Amino acid sequence: MRIRLTERSRRQYAAAPFEVQRAFDSKLKLLTDNLRHPSLRAKKYDEASDIWQARITRGWRCYFRIEADTYVMLSLIPHPK
| Residue-number span of the structural domain to which 53 is assigned | 2-78
Q: 11 phi and psi, to 5 degrees?
A: -65, -40
Total domains in the chain come to 1
Helical ranges in 1-81 per DSSP H: 7-15, 18-33
Cα distances from 17 to residues 3, 26, 60, 71, 76, in angstroms, run 21, 15, 11, 23, 11
Q: Residue 64 belongs to a domain with what CATH number?
A: 3.30.2310.20
Q: Per-residue pLDDT for the chain (81 aa), expressed as one digit of tens each?
A: 899 999 999 999 999 999 999 999 999 999 999 999 999 999 999 999 999 999 999 999 999 999 999 999 999 999 876
Q: How far apart are CA 50 and CA 15, in angstroms?
A: 26
Q: How far apart are CA 73 and CA 7, in angstroms?
A: 9
